[in-house]
A and B are shown apart, each in its own frame.
Chain A
Amino acid sequence: MRAEEHQISSEKFVLHSKGGQLHDEKLETKPVSYFRDAMHRFARNKASIAAAVIIGILFLFAILGPVLTPYKVSDEDINYAYVLPRNELFYRMGIRFWDGGRRMGVTESSYSLYRGIEKETGRTVIMTEPEVRTEEYMGKPTSYYDFRLDTYNAVGVKFVLLRYEEYVALQQYQDENNIQVIFPITDPALRPEAEQDKTNANIWYRTKLGSGRKTTVVYDENGDFIPIYLADNGTDRYTSRMYWEGDEKLYSYAEQKDGNMWNVRVDYREYYRYIHYRAGDGIEYPSFLLGTNNAGKDLFTCLASGARFSFLLAIIVASVNLFVGAVYGAIEGYYGGKIDLMMERFVDILASIPFMIVITLLKYHFDVSHVLVLFIAFFLTGWTGMAARTRMQFYRFKNQEYVLVARTLGARDSRIMFKHIFPNAIGTLITGSVLVIPSVIFSETSLSYLGIINLNTGSLTSVGTLLATGQNFLFTYPHMILFPSIFISLLMLSFNLFGNGLRDAFNPSLRGTEE
């Protein structure tokens, strides 16, 4: 074929639609962006939504908990140690659950002690009618009393040592508020002889030393307690209201110890209110929603503060890891070749160091702050995962046509990296970062649980420390480990569900498979 046969003169060409403009047909529907699609698909996953709600509640608990409660982590009162959780509502309504009550099975002497407290303070200590059973104990039949004990009122009265000015101020408070805080002092000569009961202020009645050096109560002919209050000898400088009705002052209300100190017997519930009234911290009568631990710290406050710390640490770690990992991974993935090889070997080595070794070495070297140690350790070992995710996405997208177009048009490397390729990695990075949060919280909890990291310094505590303390009292006071366990389990569960939902939502290959 010769070429000229195909020569067509240019006049023969006519433009199809001269003057008019060609358009693609306009889309009838609205475009769905990647994110909107992901959110839409996420919203259809009911389990993930429920998980998100639970996470939200736990997060609110962590943020608002420490603000709402009048207590601080450093507040502790050893007299109210081991008290059980009490919900005021349940308690007032008389529901025998979550009311600060505890099932007890005690011997005669303990039972009479509680009865004594009840009689003296006038508050219910024995919440249910006791059932008496008899069992063999060391060859002898012994009576046991089964009943529900009010762990708050069982504290009763305590001896406190006050300076004279404090003693006077307490009397003033009594008169102003018309409350009896100071109770008559017991006669030192008549106090129980048994070593373990000598400083027990709650024994206001006559006792004798029974068998096995145990304190036994001496009742009068009617079966009542016989008071051992110290008769008024005019030395106690007490001018306030009387515990005993009538105008006559029958008893002494304090005994002077050496110097300026006065030993005073106070109703501890009222005294508790008084010291907090003096401190002005807004705490009234004791009532702990989740009970207290062995040091008398409010578990609600501790748990909320621990949770807040965990969340804070996890979010900071996740965002720093995300940032560093994304930049590192982007450089690795985009430039590839030798740079990638070198950087990847570095990551390999860093990633294969066991976390325990990192944390221990850091702990040895920076003994000052364990919070800092935790943060550095999580950062050192955590960002490599983010880097790997970003790197993979960059490898996938860097040779696609649209990237080549951008390069041909003269876009700078940084623009191509962060404007054109990076958005493709955002989905997997968000999922990854969300899943970092529970893993950081879990590791932090485990480390403080094992005692490797000690976060229990004054105003700070952690869920792991609470768990570790609770473990020691698992059989006697299970409430101490129950609530931190529920918190951490719920958190892990909901984060796992939430993370799964996010992963599916951001996975474009699953698009449309649910229908």
Chain B
Amino acid sequence: MYMFKYICKRISLMLVTFTIIFITCFILVKLLPVDVSSVGIGEDADKIIAQMVSRGYMKYDSGSGKYINTPILEQLGKYLKRMIFEGDFGIGFSMPEYRGRAVWSVFIEKLPPTILINVYSSLLAVPIGIVLGIFAALKKNKWQDHLISTLVMVFISVPAFVYASLVLYLLCFKLSALPLSVMSLPDIVKAYPEKGYLYVPGEFNWSLYFNKKMFLSMLPAVFSMSFGSIAGYARYTRAELTEVLTSEFMLLARTKGLTKAQATVHHALRNAMVPIFPSIIGEFVSVLSGSLIIEKIFQIPGVGGLYLAAINSTDYDFFMMLSGFYLLVGLLAGLVVDLSYGVIDPRIRMGAK
């Protein structure tokens, strides 16, 4: 029962934190002037104002004869009401390609590539990283261990955009083995015209992402993302496993007649996984947020690119929604990691005094 209570407590604490930050963000964003001048050529500033008025962000002030901002708390109330009861996160207004479109539908459309690339890279990185780590731990202080540790150090330190450039230059350009950028939905429809009917704007469009061309075009990004994670997992596994291998129960296991392999797999590895597994779970939660840099380099039509575009063109509704999303993912990842310790290792009693 205490476990349930503890989880409830943690979730409610997380929600409080989320609400405070989200509302602070909203207020800080709304303190900024609405930049009507950012409207493109041939666009009507009045339309934007009409849109703002219809959403309750602006109102006509008969005194000065101008449109003025409504009080921020009133805006906040309307925003939260729409968000919670109608699932309406606002409408884009300063990015030309998303002007007038519902923020949520654009977001949903951009989600699959971001998730897929991260899932692929995790699927690649986790097994390789853990195997390398185990190998290094078993060969501790031999040349194999030194080689792996050196490589791990190099791969952890070098930033992802350097790998990305290397992958692009060597694999995609010099060898022409892989495409230069990730395909967008219209590209896929062009490549597979028979699947064209599946494409619905503003929807998830999952089915369009599982084909050979899409997969190949995602590979460079997947490779560039996984180098760092492989090194990270390898280092972590090696550190945990070497510690467990020297503990006394391992000696006991060997004394009672287990072979080294049996003792390692059944006793050492299980214990070493206790801190590693939660970090994998945390990684899987945070795959949603992706990597802004990788998305930029490979022109992935994902959430990261959308966020960058929203920031650079000061589209507040997009910015608010995506910020909330990133914030939630970050908080959730932390929470899941904490809670999973208790699930994986029954000896850890969460929240017990």
Is B8 on the interface with A (CB-CB < 8 A)? no
> Contacting A496 at CB < 8 Å: which of B31, B156, B297?
B156
* Interface pick from A180-188, A359-367, A396-404: A359-367
Is B162's CB under 8 angstroms from A353's CB? Answer: no
Residue on A with the closest CB to B160? A446
Number of A-B contacts (CB under 8 A): 91
Query: Chain A residues with Cβ under 8 A from B312's Cβ?
Result: 451-452
Asked if A352 and B169 make an inter-chain contact with CB atoms under 8 angstroms apart, the answer reads: no
Which residues of B are found within 8 Å of A485, using beta-carbon distances? 161-162, 165
Cβ–Cβ contact B158 & A474, under 8 A: no
- Residues A356 and B307 in contact, CB atoms below 8 Å apart: yes
CA–CA, A364 and B312, complex, Å? 10
Known interface pairs A471-B297, A493-B154. Does A354 touch B327 (Cβ–Cβ under 8 Å)?
yes
Interface of A is mostly: helix
A481 near B: Cβ within 8 Å? yes
Asked if residues A478 and B169 are in contact (CB atoms below 8 Å), the reply is yes
> What residues of B have a CB within 8 angstroms of the CB of A349 in the complex?
17, 20-21
B311, CB-defined interface residue at 8 Å? yes
Bound Cα distance A322, B166 (Å)? 36
Contact partner, B308, options A357, A445, A452, A496, Cβ 8 Å: A452
Report yes or no: B154 in contact with A475, Cβ–Cβ below 8 A: no
Contact of A445 among B20, B159, B323, B327 (CB under 8 A): B159
- B contact residues, range: 35 or more
B292 in the interface (beta carbon within 8 A)? yes
Contact partner, B326, options A357, A364, A442, Cβ 8 Å: A357
Interface string of B285-324 (1 = CB under 8 A from A): 0000000110011000000000110011010000100010
- Contact of B293 with A474 in the complex, beta carbons under 8 Å: no
A71 CB to nearest B CB, Å? 25
Chain A positions within 8 Å of B29 at CB level: 361, 364
What's the interface size class on A, roughly?
20 to 34
* A474 proximity list for chain B (CB < 8 A): 165, 168-169, 173
What chain A residues lie within 8 Å of B334 (beta carbons)?
Answer: 352
Q: Flag whether A290 is at the interface (Cβ < 8 A).
A: no
- Per-position binary interface string of chain A over residues 433-472, scored 1 when its CB falls under 8 Å from any chain B CB and 0 otherwise: 0000000001001100111100000000000000100010
Q: Is A348 an interface residue (CB 8 A)?
A: yes
B25 CB–A CB distance under 8 Å:
yes
Known: A352-B331, A496-B153. A449 touches B161 (CB 8 A): yes
Closest to B16 in A: A349
Please judge, given known A-B contacts A352-B331, A474-B165, A489-B162, whether A452 and B311 are in contact too, CB under 8 Å: yes
Does B84 sit at the interface, judged by CB under 8 A? no
Chain B residues within 8 Å of A449, by CB? 161, 293, 296
Are A360 and B311 closer than 8 Å at their CB atoms? yes
- Tell me whether A492 is interfacial, beta carbon within 8 Å: yes
Q: Is the CB of A493 within 8 A of B314?
A: no
A residues in contact with B21, CB < 8 Å: 349, 352-353, 357
A-B contact pairs, 10 of them (CB 8 A): A348-B17, A352-B331, A354-B326, A356-B311, A450-B293, A450-B308, A467-B161, A471-B297, A485-B162, A497-B153
A interface list, Cβ under 8 A from B = 348-349, 352-354, 356-357, 360-361, 363-365, 442, 445-446, 449-452, 467, 471, 474-475, 478, 481, 485, 488-489, 492-493, 495-497
A-B pairs, 7 with minimum CB distance: A493-B157, A492-B157, A489-B158, A485-B162, A496-B157, A357-B323, A361-B28
